[in-house]
Amino acid sequence: MDDTTKLKLKLALGLAGAGTLLLALLAVLQDFPEPRLWALFAAALVFFEWNSVEVNDRLLVSPSVMVTLTAAVVFGPGSATLGVAAMAALGLLTPADLRGRRWFQPLANFGQFVITATVSVFVLELFLPTEVTIDNLWQVALGTAVAASIHSLVQFTIVSWVVHAVYQRREVRPWTQMGSNHASYLAMGFLGGLLGATYLLVGAVTLPLIFTAYFVGHLAFAAYGELREAQEATLRGFVKALEAKDLYTRGHTERVAHFAELIGEQLRYNPAQLQRLRWAALIHDVGKLAVPRELIRKKARLTDEEYAQMQRHVHVVEDILAEVEFLHPMVHIASGHHAHFDGSGYAGGTHSRGDAPTQEMSVLSVADAFDAMTSTRSYRVALSQEYAFTELRRHAGSQFDPRAVEALIAALERTGERYGSTELASEAEARRIAETMEGYRIYG
Amino acid sequence: MAEQPLRRVSLLVVAGLGATGAALSTHVMEQWWVLVLLTAAMAAGHLLRVPAPNGEDLYFGVAVAASVPLLVGDVFAVGVVYAFGTLASWLVLDLRGVSRRQLRVFLLADSAALGAYALVFFTTDWAFRYGDVTGQWTELTSVAAGALAWFLVGAVLHALVSYEERRQGLRYMWLLAIADWPVVLSLFATGALFAFAWPVIRWWAFPVALMPYGFSHVAFVRSAGTRVTYGQTIRALARIPEVAGLAPTGHSSRTAELAVAVGQDLGLSPSEVVELEYAALMHDIGRITLNEPAILKAGYTDEDIARWGSQIVAEAPYLSRVADHVRTQHRPYRHPGEETDHELALAAKIIKVASAYDQAVAEAGLAPLEALETLHRGAAYDFDPRVVRSLRRVTTPRVPAAG
């Protein structure tokens, strides 16, 4: 058993033990809610836990917190915490865990769910009146909003602590995302409380209507998420398949997208910016697909006529993609990625010459240059990562944005990924390298 | 032919609604301002457009209308609100600049659907009362039965109006009309939730009913937007071989247009038609490979183009069926001495026919009838006669009826 497994075992058993202890304690202190009602809410919770949908780029929100808090209000003080903690315990097994025969996630999740539910509903119980009336409705809604907020904080703290302990490789990014995440938790908590109070005041007839509302919203977000994923997968697949026809640029786009994303994460871009950057990277070379291969493969410098011909092809494709309103900002970034940081150098279609590039263009430019240097092209072999770092730093401030350069270097050192040849470029290669940088400026 | 009767019928509907509203209003026992408020709310609800998966728009006014019979139990009052509410909504939609066609569809289909809702709601309600069953659950059952009637009547009429306009693909129209069920479900649930909550919790009923709907609404709007940009992205990618000078300009988009018309005519489902459209748009994408001088020199066949194209499309995980269509679209529909090739999807046969027709018209310069004639001659093996007949239907303008 290696160290990581030992650590995981310790963490999982600790969390699961704490969860079991809490449940036992609650069972002594509180009464169990009406079993049929409990089963109904528990079934709904399990359904939503098993089918969480992506609302925003990488922001997973499931209405489970809403179901939890509706249930807490319905169960009422004296049994809410026990009822909800017992419901939460059911969330421990997910289809993914079952398929992967994982033991760590279910155990850790069990503990995490029970602790989170207990803490948040315990606070909620302080707000809950013994009998809900129209006059103290606001108190219930306020209580559930506070509880949702505590729920999200506790959950996040535990998850980031566990992730950090087990997978030291990466820090958990979401602190930056917590803002928007938190707002939606507050809204869902508020609504969850209101719906619970509605059930108590109006009657059981509201229950199917509330579940219908949850369910349709869930369906709609799932459909939206799938569609968005399909769109990105389609573009990704196309670019990959098209460039696979060319041995030397195979994988280039995927890698540039990866580097651009690393830089963006390091510079703390928000999810929307990251998505834009990823898409821009995916299409940054699409224009070249329309360029006759003999021009791309040509080892000698292009004549002015050939260069103009190539640019024409590239621009026509960019113009077509820019017609898609959604892609317009991405095409703008992609077409400006040749611009130099100080405003000199070539700039494509929608970006006019002489303007300093936007930061997103600079990020893409660095990612593209790094991959150009560390991969083998028709005119030279791959250079080493160290050489690429030195070269990027040397041109930082003139061709490249120094912040983007440092961000890439820091990100790669953090993740430990390595690209390019293992050896430093030798003196004999240096001459070829000069040619390379020249070539890079032309072809990108 | 379709224009005139539809216009006449819609005029009749307007007059009928006005007359019904006026006649019923003499029997109403409800406070008059309640009716004015509900009518105004129904009309105002038509300011909020709800994009449905099938591309036909729905309006939030449906949710308001759904709550009316629960809020006012008086049959006559509901009739008055529905009659005047529909007229007011019609005016609101007209002011919003909705197309004449949609206005007419609204008058014909939506007013009838609302009538069906009220009818079934009160019939069910009456049946329960007759059986001495009362309570919230019976009211909920009445709403559910009424909502089902609203949905079915609306879908049938929507399909019939589209059929009346285009005379094609009744099955397609019907499937398209029922594809918006999640939106309808959400609107009726919202209306009913409000109506149940209002008498007890008063103003709190607004956040209770509107907040869950708001979440769904955001998703509906985003889905609709993404569906549009997804199609646009594929259209843009499909044009790359053309701008590279490797495929004739406009051929794939014209082929896609024809293929969609034929697919609808032959009764494919809406999702199959979307796949057919994507496959037709990309049926020549394999030509991007001709960018490679070595391949040009070595020579290639239609089958190669189809195979290269399908390899490209197959990289997109959600388009595997589209990739199949692209791979098989060059195949003849049957081989000499054999029955029809059953493995060949209808979509692939449609693309083959549509592409050949467009080539004959746009490149060989044949007149549409001559082009159809050549396809008929190829019908023995290459082109499925059923598809060619359908193509003739969709390319020949309908003969105007006398009068």
Residues B390-403 pLDDT 10s: 898 888 765 544 43
Residue A197 is predicted with a pLDDT of 93
Average model confidence (pLDDT) across chain A: 79
Contact residues on chain B for A221, CB-CB shorter than 8 A? 215, 219
Model confidence over A32-70: pLDDT tens digits? 988 999 999 999 888 887 776 655 544 455 677 888 899
pLDDT at site B235? 87
The more confident residue out of A359 and A340 is A359
Give B319's contacts in chain A (Cβ within 8 Å): 234, 237
pLDDT confidence band for A110 (50 / 70 / 90):
confident
Residues of chain B with Cβ-Cβ distance to A327 below 8 Å are 229, 232-233, 236
Q: Does pLDDT of A258 surpass 50? A: yes
User: In the prediction, which pLDDT does B368 show?
Assistant: 83
* B207 to A191: CB separation less than 8 angstroms, yes or no: yes
Mind giving me the DSSP string for A324-375?
A: SGGGHHHHHHHHTTTS-TTS-S---TTS-TTSPPPHHHHHHHHHHHHHHHHS
Most confident region among B24-33, B294-303, B386-395 by mean pLDDT = B386-395
**Which chain A residues in 273-292 lie under 8 Å from chain B, judged by CB atoms?**
286, 289-292
Q: Specify the pLDDT at position A142.
A: 92
Q: Could you tell me the end-to-end alpha-carbon distance of chain A, in angstroms, rounded to an integer?
A: 48
Provide mean pLDDT across the span A229-233.
83
Residue of B nearest to A196 (CA): B208
More confident residue, B370 or B141: B141
| Chain A residue closest in CA terms to B231 | A231
- A with B: how many residue pairs have Cβ under 8 Å apart? 189
Please report which helix (H) or strand (E) contains residue A54, including its range: strand A53-56
Residues in chain B within 8 Å Cβ distance of A191? 207, 211-212
Cβ–Cβ below 8 Å for B207 and A194: yes
Instruction: Say yes or no: ipTM exceeds 0.85.
Output: no
- What is the pLDDT, as a whole number, of residue A52? 66
Q: Give residue-wise pLDDT tens across range A410-423.
A: 888 887 788 876 66
Exposure of A160 by Cβ count < 10 A (0-12 exposed, 13-18 middle, 19+ buried)?
middle
Q: Comparing A293 with A308, which gets the higher pLDDT?
A: A308
- Predicted local confidence at residue B65, as pLDDT: 95
Query: How confident is residue B342, by pLDDT bands cut at 50, 70 and 90?
Result: low
Of A173-187, B117-131, B270-284, the least confident: A173-187
Give the pLDDT confidence score for residue B401 in this predicted structure: 46
CA distance B233 to chain A (A): 7
pLDDT-above-70 percentage for chain B: 93
How far apart CA B264 and CA A187 sit, in angstroms, is: 43
Put simply, the chain B residues between 230 and 289 with a CB less than 8 A from any chain A CB are 230, 232-237, 239-240, 243-244, 288-289
Strands A53-56 and A59-61, by their bridges, are antiparallel
CA angle B163, B166, B169 (to 5 degrees): 55
Amino acid B99: pLDDT = 84
Q: How confident is the model at residue A377 (pLDDT cuts 50, 70, 90)?
A: low
Residues A125-182 have pLDDT tens digits of 888 888 888 888 999 999 999 999 998 888 888 887 887 777 665 554 545 555 667 7
> Is the confidence at residue A211, as pLDDT, over 70?
yes
Q: What is the spatial distance between Cα B201 and Cα B262, in angstroms, rounded to a whole number?
A: 54
B315 CB neighbours in chain A (<8 A) are 236-238, 240-241
Q: Locate tokens 């809950």: which residue? A: A128
- C-beta atoms of A326 and B315 within 8 A: no
Mutation to test the A interface, candidates B233, B271, B311, most A Cβ within 10 Å: B233
In this complex, is the C-beta atom of B148 within 8 Å of any C-beta atom belonging to chain A?
no
A14-29 pLDDT per residue, tens: 888 888 899 899 988 8
- Confidence tier at B271 by pLDDT (50, 70, 90): confident
Residue B168 has pLDDT above 70, yes or no: no
Q: How far apart are CA A242 and CA A252, in angstroms?
A: 12
Is A202 in Cβ contact with B197 (below 8 Å)?
yes
pLDDT at B119 over 90: yes
Share of chain A above pLDDT 90, in %: 12
Residue B388 has which token pair?
Answer: 């060619």
Q: In a 3-state reduction of DSSP, which class is residue A25?
A: helix
A59 touches chain B (CB under 8 A): no
Nearest-CB residue to B226 (from A206, A227, A240):
A227
Q: What is the pLDDT of residue A247?
A: 59
Q: What is the pLDDT of residue A440?
A: 45
B111 touches chain A (CB under 8 A): no
Residue B192 CB contacts under 8 Å (≥ 6 apart), including other chains? A209, B66, B67, B70, B140, B143
In whole angstroms, give the CA distance from residue A115 to residue A154.
8
Q: CA A382, CA A429: separation in Å to the nearest integer?
A: 11
- Which positions in chain B touch A320 (Cβ < 8 Å)? 236, 239-240, 243
Interface test with B, best of A226, A324, A327, A331 (most B CBs within 10 A): A324
Mean pLDDT lowest for which of A110-119, A127-136, B38-47, B294-303? B294-303
Look up the pTM and report it.
0.83
When pLDDT is averaged across residues B164-177 and rounded to a whole number, the result is: 77
Is the Cβ–Cβ distance between A276 and A330 less than 8 Å?
yes
